[in-house]
Each structure stands twice: as structure tokens, then as C-alpha cells.
Amino acid sequence: MKFEITDNSCMFEMLLKRKIMGQCNDNSQLALRIHIKNSEPIQVSDFTASMNAIGSYFSSFAQKNGMSKELSNAKLCVSKITEGSIDIHLVELVSLSMIPFVENFNLIMEFAKNLKNVYDYFTSSSGEKPELTAKELQDLHDILSIPSKDQCGQMDIQVIKGDVNNVVYTGCTFNYIESNGTQNLIDKEIEIVKSVSEQDEIHTNQLMTMYQIRGINSNSGNKGIIEALNKKALNLLFESDGIKDQIINSKNNPLKKVFAVDVVIQNMNNKPFAYKIVKLLDVFDIED
């Protein structure tokens, strides 16, 4: 059993056209081969999670590395699925015109090399640490959804030219143990990336009350509560001495005021530790 599919019905109808089908089966074109040796049935949710993640990570890679507008909009489309051990061939097509690329820079090959380099970093700490977003890391995690659930299964990611007998790049191989170990390492990296990104996020127009005041000359000990972000009092840092003076050294008792502020949450050991006040917007009296 062999059949041709694409990622949506519109593409499917277009690929059924003889001319484009001929291009997809062109023996000179490189394809990303996902070869799955499964020892037990694969859940649909795991299969779709893995395929969606490959497509998503490829789109991100194309946007970063495309050398032309067309390349940066590249998408992966499935050109063949074969029964037995599951064999999936993915080809690169320009998303709108559906014309295969004719470029010296081949995204399929570069994408496969990128996958191997990234996974090698997590499995053996080899090479430089890749700069990845939380979404890209989640994609890399989800790509391994199938082998991570099958104790006797295996997934190979290769580049082929024409057919499976012409493997031009070996790529990655994952079994059950390797997949789970890699996913665990990626999960830890996701937590780190999210923690860093949260520290850069400005929470605008937050209402803050003072919990503890140590005075204008003190660089520590001032604490405030922003109930919308955390019920506990956190240490206060200030973007400038001017903002600090307006809050701590106001003419009226700061403990009886509500301050509308823009803040950044700063973490320590992955836990909220302090609010950095970047802007004072307004001051209100606390009603008795």
C-alpha cells in the first residue's frame, strides 16, 4: 500500500495533478525520510504530534535560514507513506506555487544536519549550544513522541535521493531509552528558556501596595505586593532613583497608597524573588 498525502485538502488536490506529482517523485530531489520501526500500534495522537512537530520545526528553520523569500516560506509535505515499518518521505515545496526548489542551498539537507546537531548537543553535549525558543524546543521534544512510547521501537531520520536505497545523509536514530533521555533534557531546557523569557516580560499597569519600607537610602528590604502576580510580598528593585524616590520617599505614607506600575518579575532558583519597577504610572489612596 502506497499513497500520497499533503498537510491539507487544498494541497492534496493540487498534488493529484500529474505535473506536480511527477515533480514530487523526481528521482533527483532530496527527501527527508522518517523511518519508524514500531513493535506495537502507534497512537494517532503520538503520530500526529510527531509529524506536526517536524513540520513546525522545519517552518521555523526555513524562516531563519531561507536565502530567499520563497525559501523562508517553505513547508514540508508528505509525498509517500509505505506500510510495514512506517516509511514517510517529506519533500520541500514552495507553499503557494507548489514548485520544488531549484537552489544550490538545499533546505532538506541543511534541516537534517540541524536536527542531528541539535539532538547531538542534548544527547552527548557535543558542539555549541543551539539558540532555540521554547516553541522550537517543544517541537524537538514532540518529534520523539513515537519512539519514546515504544520500548522496542526505533525512529531513523535520513535524507534520501530518489528512493530508500540511496541514503545521502544518515542523520539521527532514536530508540526508547534515547528518546526519553533526550526529552527529559529538552524539558529542563524549556524551563530555563521560559524562566529567562519571563524575566524579560513587562507586566503593565499593575496595582502594587507597599508591604515593608526600609527608606530611600536602603538598597534592600523594601517589599511590595502585587496580588495579580503573586500573593506574597517580594523584594523591590527600581529602574531609576527617581522612581524609587517617588514611591519610597513620598510626602504621604507609602503604606497607605496604591501604586500603578509597570514591573518585571525577577526570579532566583526558578522562583519569583523581586519586582523591578520600570515605570510609575499613577498613585491612589487606600480607602479606609
Q: What is the pLDDT of residue 14?
A: 39
Q: Which of 198, 230, 251 delimits the end of a domain?
A: 198
Q: Which of 136, 168, 198 delimits the end of a domain?
A: 198
> Are 69 and 82 within one domain?
yes
Neighbours of 204 (CB within 10 A): 12
What is the C-alpha to C-alpha distance for residues 82 and 2, in angstroms, rounded to an integer? 5
Tell me the whole-structure pTM to 2 decimals. 0.62
Count how many domains the chain has.
2
What range does the domain containing 265 cover?
Answer: 202-285
> Are 191 and 275 within one domain?
no
What is the C-alpha to C-alpha distance for residues 135 and 56, in angstroms, rounded to an integer? 9
Question: Edge to edge, what strands does the sheet with 74-82 contain?
Answer: 2-3, 74-82, 86-94, 30-37, 154-161, 163-175
Q: What is the pLDDT of residue 71?
A: 61
User: Is-contact 94 74, C-beta < 8 A?
Assistant: yes
> Are 168 and 35 within one domain?
yes
| Lookup: cell for 64 | 531563519
| Lookup: cell for 200 | 524579560
Helices (H), 144-253: 176-200, 241-248
User: Is-contact 236 277, C-beta < 8 A?
Assistant: yes
Q: Which of 149, 171, 198 delimits the end of a domain?
A: 198
Q: Can you give 178-203 as a three-state secondary structure string? A: HHHHHHHHHHHHHHHHHHHHHHHCEE
> Are 181 and 219 within one domain?
no
> Are 12 and 139 within one domain?
yes
Q: What is the pLDDT of residue 121?
A: 95
User: Is-contact 201 265, C-beta < 8 A?
Assistant: yes
Neighbours of 183 (CB within 10 A): 19
Q: Give every CB contact of residue 227 below 8 A, 6+ residues apart in sequence.
A: 207
With 0-12 / 13-18 / 19 or more C-beta atoms within 10 angstroms meaning exposed / middle / buried, residue 5 is middle
User: Is-contact 245 215, C-beta < 8 A?
Assistant: no
> Are 93 and 235 within one domain?
no
> Are 80 and 119 within one domain?
yes
> Are 223 and 138 within one domain?
no
What is the C-alpha to C-alpha distance for residues 145 and 44, in angstroms, rounded to an integer? 11
> Are 151 and 224 within one domain?
no
Which of 240, 118, 100, 233 has the alpha carbon at shortest distance from 171?
Answer: 118
Query: pLDDT tens track of the chain, all 288 residues?
Result: 233 333 333 433 333 344 444 444 555 678 999 999 999 999 999 999 999 999 999 988 888 876 555 566 667 777 777 766 788 888 876 533 444 444 445 888 999 999 999 999 999 888 889 999 999 999 999 999 999 999 999 999 999 998 889 999 999 999 999 999 999 999 999 988 877 666 668 899 999 999 999 866 666 789 999 999 999 999 999 988 889 988 987 777 899 999 999 999 888 877 889 999 999 999 999 876
User: Is-contact 78 89, C-beta < 8 A?
Assistant: yes
What is the C-alpha to C-alpha distance for residues 114 and 97, in angstroms, rounded to an integer? 26
Q: What is the pLDDT of residue 198?
A: 62
Strands 271-285 and 230-238: parallel
Residue carrying the nine cell digits 501604586: 259
> Are 123 and 223 within one domain?
no
